[in-house]
Structure 1
Amino acid sequence: MSEPVRRAGVFALLCTLSLAVPLFGPEVAAALGAVVLLGAVVVRDGPIFDLFAYPDDYEDGRLYGLIAFVLAGVALGLLATQSSMTSAVFVGTVLLVGYGNFGEQLVRTRTADDVARAAGFCLAATVAAAVGQAATVGLAGGSVPAALPTILFLAASGALLAALLRDILLLYDDPVVMLSVGLLLWLLAELDPALGAVDIVIALAITAALGYASYALETASIAGMLTGVLLGLLTVVLGGYGWFVVLISFFAIGGLSTKFRYGRKEDLGVAEENNGARGTGNVLGNAAVGLVAVLGYAASEAGFLPAASELFLFAFAGSVATAMSDTLSSEIGSIFETPRLITTLEPVEPGTDGGVTWQGEIAGVVGAAIVAAIAYALFPEIGAVGAAIVVAAGVVGMTVDSLLGATLEGTLLGNQGVNFLATLSGALVSALLVLSLAALG
């Protein structure tokens, strides 16, 4: 057994101590945590130090990695015992990080493939988190079958977020990963999944397959793939398959448009980096507002928000229409050599922020219309007037993107910030137009 596998296995066993919370109560769990923490402080060298030490720990002779890991677990444990965070969420979070790492290290001994590594982490993390949550619910006297949909949803969501964070952070940032995952699952635990256990498994399989397809087609990096799968899963489970179809239409059509005449874009110097593969920043810049709308919809349906759930549906559709409109406008319009700055209409070089072409503008309107047509077909509450609102919101958002590009991008805003504000404007325009029509009616 290699040293990384041995270290990951020992850390996984330490994470199993989190089960002391439902078994013996927080007092005993706190005592166990204190013992481990004291040991991490006292041990300065020798075989035990070598077993737990990360590379940076050797410089000062301190097990800083283990100390930070234990402190992160204690922080989550305090939240679990002094707030509405359930013990199941706490146990599931700790176990998914520990056993996910172990699963990843086992895969590394067999292959160097990055996708296999991420899959190994996600699979081990999901199983460990689900088992830990189920055990906690059972020990508390709850019904495991009744809680199974929530258990699977939280386990899979936490595993995907942890894998994503480990891909974009340093390998040894497990304390940050643990805290981030715990806080997300704390939020999601308050929202009831719209699907049953079997449907959640199917949804995970579908989103994972589409995510891998995006990576295989080189339209997304590994981080972008993980982000897309996580967003897709949250959208399906908290909204439904109709919401997912609207979202995936953007990822599919937008990703393919990036490949449209890619050689021509390279010649003009306007091609996306990494052969057009989109990373986490690009995915979140275009889909973060939509995700907030999904969460708002679920919170509204659960009675946590007073706003009508229909508003969040229109905000979601407006944000996706903006993302689609802006992407098609940029990717298709960029192949033409005569863009004009949107603020002055003066000719500019291809790729200039805020530069537009009439061909790109038409493509953008078509992109917004595609999203509106899909929403109209899937949601009876959208209607013909609602579809027109979604198109208008998408065009407004596309225009805001160009205006921000011409004025603030490169100085106060980066590309992802511009995308975020543009999709936010599309969501707000869509929701406000619906409110205005309702007031007039």
Structure 2
Amino acid sequence: MNIQLGSGKVHAASETPGFLPLPKCGGNKPAERYRKTAADVNCKACFKVVLAELDREIAAYEDTTPGNPEVVTPDAPESATVSHVSNTNRGETEMAETTATKLDVTEDAGKAALEQIDANIERARSLAEADNAEALEELGAETEGIISALVGKGSIKAKKEKRAEWAAAAIVPEKAVKKVTEGKIAPKTWDQYAGTEELMAIGAEKLAEGVRLHLKASTVAAEVASATFDAWTRMENKAGDPDLLGAGDAAKKFSGEMLRLAGEGFERTYDNEQSLKRLARSAQDQRSDVRAAWLRSLDTDTKEGAERRAIVAKQLEGKPEDVPASEWIAKAYNTSTIGQTEKRRLEYQAKQKAAELEAGSAGSDSEGGEGEGTGEGSDTSTDNSTPDERITKFAKKLLKDMETAKPEDFEVASEDTKKAAREQFTQAIEALKKMVQATL
């Protein structure tokens, strides 16, 4: 049985009765966080442990055949079928069969075999560095066949040593975070940043839950967007700054992996797949709102605000005292402190307010009657301002009134109020269109 943490490395499991399985390499996470998987082992540390265990078992078995050091397997004929372990760069542990002739290490044939093993080990190092898995696997089968055929005095020790040397030489170097290639440091992957695996699990589970339970998209999307943006703030972009825009490779692959992982949490049907896509799009729309709220929190005198300012401390260097941190960082990232959803709400409110004002103006004109200019609400007879002044005054008042409107009021208002507002706003939009047309 193999185990895995999220979408990370696949480990060989070390099982102890009464306890949850842990990786053979030891691992660094609680046992309950690992899940069983049918995937092949790709943890090199676990693979080395497996090889060492096999060596001990072989040595223990051979030690139980005193008096006949040439015995390879029980009742083995002169030409015996010997099992061997094939080491590949994927970390797989396989059993294959090869036919080998006994090679006494005290005789010329055995000594020549040891030299051939050493040559194969040296070649394995080159193949491993070149990441040539196929050639390495073939060479491993050949080398193990020779090692397994060794017999005679000192053969047990020789086998153990040669297998250990092979295991060390044949492991393909992992593409570590600080592996230098062409004078540059390879960038981190998304799962190498602290806390991102947990955020991945949260977001994926929320998406899967939304599909399974047919939850409201806006509710699920807000939580997924929050988890995703939180992960982005922990990652770095190409400039080495917090990836608030999610433009880096790690951030993009994080989002893609979240969708893949979420897909494992529900039955794969057409309807469910479409539901997942809708939830993902909704979450994408809300990420700009989450980012905007995060930026605005930089101006708050709270623990959360202080922690977030620490994340962008480098970018805040040189900020003038009279410039809010939110605006400074938003400008640095060429983004806004107002999210896309919020912008659409404000635009909508502006149109509705304009329609309302236009409707009110039209009502006042009709109530005054022809030739009447002195009634309440109509002071045109004493208004000596120019058209330019009146238009400027009207535009400023319109924008000022719209700024006082609160988006949350419209969300919680009764249906009757919403309906009445929609009708008034529709009238205002038509009036505004006429005004705009008149300026063309």
The two structures have a TM-score, normalised by structure 2, of: 0.28
Structure showing the higher strand proportion among its residues: 2
Q: Which of the pair has more CA radius of gyration?
A: 2
The two structures have a TM-score, normalised by structure 1, of: 0.28
